[in-house]
Chains A and B, each alone.
Chain A
Amino acid sequence: MNKEKQKPIIELRDAWKTYNPDKVPVHALRGANLKIYPAEFVTIIGRSGSGKSTLLHLVGCLDIPTDGHVFLSQHDISTLTENELAQIRGRKIGFVFQQFNIMQNLTALENVMLPMAFLNTPYLERQRRSKVLLSLVGLEDRITHKPAEMSGGEQQRVAIARSLANDPDVVLADEPTGNLDSVTGDKIMKVFKDLHEKEKKTIIIITHDEDVAAYGERTVSLKDGLVI
């Protein structure tokens, strides 16, 4: 693969993130550099405290760097307003979290429909697409269930279906198997693998688990706020 000729979908250029800058500054990222290309399956591995969460926030446009740049499709996210960032997250990035983070009061179907609601997709279209996505992750007979009525693995599948709702460029997962037993975890990782191979999605998985990291085509290590 000749990736150097492609333009990266996400690029961190000398990105710094400093918390508490006035009192006791904590440098979570110290000039990290990273390029992720379209349709890549990248795993980012690091111990706790290595800056994983911070990296996730920047890559996911949930936060902007204190210094340096983060580009998403060649746009510097530091120049965007909060609402523009929200729109970008909705359109281009699908999140999968360790704690699933699906809405407890909504059914599986409604959870998958939610990101489309924020982009004003018509109701019937949302409903149709959500059903397709839920069957893609094998939950076609669970669509009216609420999170409390589902297992952890099922909830995570809902989260994955939701991450695909707006047909994003990138699926960004943060320890997606961290709250699951290893058998369920393997199944979830296979879902990501399928998404990458069949749907040609860019997959970024952040983890501390080497077995999970091994699923990636490319693994990046993070240590003390630097990509090595």
Chain B
Amino acid sequence: MKKDFFKIAIRNLKSRSLRSWLTIFGFVIGVFMIIALLSLSEGMKQVVMNQMKMMGSDTVMITPGDSDNLMNTMIGNMKISEENIKTIEKTNGVEKVIAYNWKGETMRYNGDKKTIIFYGLPLDTESIFYLETKFGIKVAQGRFPEKNKRELLIGPVVVKEVFPGIKIGDEAYIAGTKFKVVGIARAVGNKQDDSMVALDLDLFRQITGERKDAPMVVAIIKDGYDQKIVSDRIKTNLEETGKRQRGSDSPSFSVINSEKAMETAGNVLGTIQGVVFAIAGFAILIGAIGIMNTMYTSVRERTKEIGIMKAVGAKTTDISKIFLIEAGVMGLIGGIGGMILGVGAAKLSALALNSYGSLAIEAYVSPGMIIYTIVFAIAVGMVSGYLPARKAARLSPVDALRYE
């Protein structure tokens, strides 16, 4: 019996095809928004989470300020002092501390001047080992700069885009000091990291005038020690040192292990996704109202046919089924259309972000998301069609037949 109902519903849609398509198009926009925004934000989440995972379970990140307020840490220009770095080094369970620093400076190459983010990295053998294994900084060509030598390791994006043609052996000037390029780093797939220029930390301090502190410190945990316990120990030690020196005004620190970092990042991303959902929700709502509007018009236009069907034996449920199918089909087509456009737009914008922006985002689309969205689209269509369908089903056959 359903087969006939589908036939009637689809013929009805076809018989007023322009209006049906316009309504569906409105719904497509809503689904498109959901898919595009959701897949991008999901992609962002994947990227962030993957980076967090790279941190691993045997490293701890220490930043100044409260982790509840990451913004302060990022823009507050707060530093971890040399003394505090030593405190961390001395903490039981810490194998090695990698303190590093970064700053934007002008780099001159072949008469061309560009502002670049420079990283001052510790370049002793042990630190290089950790830079390679824990930070993912690897050399593709050449070698790491040597300690206290005016040498540079440059990211692959620098070679490709910033100073096209720059190669190992070339000379470049940073803040007036001459450096030699000795290595090109392997791409990590993230534009920001791949555009870096790294040099020895001590030289970095000399030319930038930065003190022996660091905006961020990574502590490598000794084998067999628990990440969480060591984290807590570091925090306690830092607080005690602070109190000894400055009393109750001592600055606070955040000791972030991978688990905690993922949690914090998850919260931030969750908020972003919530906002995205709300925006897309409004778009869907407008599409749904469009379907409802069209369905009400459809019920009125076909009042007489409803009367005919009732005269030949259609029950109220039969009539409402036909109209619900009609609304559901609009939702289905809108869902598929929005899906195709949304995935396409997300892939394109991810591509654009990767080539022009500083973020490497994948448009993340899972089969579950596709199925869920299409089911959701059909459901929204049917919910929008519910009231019109009920109106149709409740028409009295006599009144409906009389309608011209």
Contacts and interface: CB of A to CB of B under 8 A. Distances in A.
A103 B315 contact: no
Interface stretch (A8-16, A40-48, A81-89): A81-89
A82 B316 contact: yes
Interface string B1-20: 10111011001101100000
Given A62-B401, A101-B401, A118 B305 contact: no
B313 A106 contact: no
Nearest to A101: B308
A97 B305 CA distance: 13
Contacts of A104: 15, 305
Contacts of A89: 310-313, 397
Interface string B257-276: 00000000000000000000
Contacts of A60: 311
B313 A119 contact: yes
B311 A117 contact: no
Q: Across chains A and B, which 10 residue pairs bring their CB atoms closest together, nearest first?
A: A90-B313, A105-B11, A115-B312, A118-B313, A117-B4, A83-B315, A62-B397, A86-B315, A101-B308, A63-B398
Interface in B297-356: 304-305, 307-318
Contact of B304 (A62, A101, A123): A101
Contacts of A110: 4, 7
B8 A105 contact: yes
A181 to B, nearest CB: 22
Interface in B370-399: 396-398
Interface residues of A, number: 32
Given A86-B314, A91-B313, A103 B1 contact: no
Interface in A60-74: 60, 62-63
Contacts of A83: 315-317
B311 A95 contact: yes
A165 to B, nearest CB: 8
A114 B315 CA distance: 13
B7 A90 contact: no
Given A105-B8, A105-B11, A106-B8, A118 B312 contact: yes
A117 B12 contact: no
Nearest to B310: A86
B1 A120 contact: yes
A102 interface: yes
A54 B1 CA distance: 32
Contact of B1 (A87, A102, A118, A166): A118
B3 A118 contact: no
Contacts of B396: 63
A17 to B, nearest CB: 10
A89 B398 CA distance: 13
Given A104-B15, A118-B309, A118-B315, 12 more contacts: A62-B311, A62-B397, A62-B401, A86-B316, A87-B313, A95-B312, A103-B308, A103-B309, A105-B8, A105-B14, A106-B7, A115-B312
27 contacts: A57-B398, A62-B310, A62-B398, A63-B397, A82-B316, A83-B317, A86-B315, A86-B397, A89-B310, A89-B397, A90-B312, A90-B314, A91-B313, A95-B311, A101-B304, A101-B307, A101-B311, A102-B308, A103-B308, A104-B15, A105-B12, A105-B14, A105-B15, A117-B4, A118-B309, A123-B3, A166-B313
Contact of B313 (A57, A97, A113, A115): A115
Given A63-B398, A101-B304, A115-B313, A106 B11 contact: yes
Nearest to B317: A83
Interface residues of B, number: 28
Nearest to B394: A82
Contact of A103 (B3, B8, B310, B317): B8
A197 B83 CA distance: 114
A196 to B, nearest CB: 21
Nearest to B5: A117
A162 interface: yes
Interface in A160-205: 162, 165-166
B256 to A, nearest CB: 65
B112 to A, nearest CB: 70
A105 B312 CA distance: 16
A123 to B, nearest CB: 6
Given A62-B401, A101-B401, A123-B3, A118 B308 contact: no
A87 B311 contact: no
A97 B401 CA distance: 10
A90 B316 CA distance: 13
B312 A114 contact: yes
A118 B318 contact: yes
Contacts of B317: 83
Contacts of B307: 101
Contacts of B1: 117-118, 120
Nearest to B307: A101
A97 B7 CA distance: 24
A55 to B, nearest CB: 12
Interface string B49-67: 0000000000000000000
Contacts of B397: 62-63, 86, 89
Interface string A105-134: 110001001110111100100000000000
Contacts of A87: 313, 315
Contacts of B310: 62, 86, 89
A117 B7 CA distance: 12
Scoring B14, B304, B305, B313 by chain A CB atoms within 10 A of each residue's CB, the highest score goes to B313
Nearest to B400: A62
Interface in A26-66: 57, 60, 62-63
A48 B5 CA distance: 37
A82 B400 CA distance: 14
Contacts of A91: 313
